[in-house]
A = this chain, B = another copy of it.
Amino acid sequence: MKDGGFILWFTGLSGAGKSTLANHVAPILAARGVAVEILDGDEVRENLSKGLSFSKEDRDINVRRIAFVANLLGRNGVCAITAAISPYRAIREECRAKAQVPFVEVFVDAPLAVTEARDVKGLYAKARAGQIPHFTGVTDPYEPPSSPEVVVKTGEETLEQSAAKVIEYLKRRGLVR
Q: Which residues of A contact B (CB under 8 A)?
A: 2, 35, 37, 47-48, 50-51, 61, 64-65, 68-69, 72-73, 76-78
Q: A48-B48, A50-B61, A69-B72 are in contact. List 11 more A-B contacts (CB 8 A).
A: A2-B35, A37-B72, A37-B76, A47-B64, A47-B68, A48-B65, A72-B73, A73-B73, A76-B76, A76-B77, A76-B78
| B68/A48 in contact, CB under 8 A | yes
Number of copies: 2
| A47/B76 in contact, CB under 8 A | no
The 10 A-B pairs of least Cβ separation, nearest first, read A47-B68, A76-B78, A35-B76, A48-B65, A69-B69, A2-B35, A37-B72, A76-B76, A48-B48, A72-B73
Whole-angstrom distance between the Cβ of A121 and the nearest chain B Cβ:
23
CA distance A18 to B48 in the complex (A): 23
| A47/B65 in contact, CB under 8 A | yes
Residues of B within 8 A of A65 (CB): 47-48
CA distance A69 to B65 in the complex (A): 11
Residues of B within 8 A of A76 (CB): 35, 37, 73, 76-78
Residues of B within 8 A of A72 (CB): 37, 69, 72-73
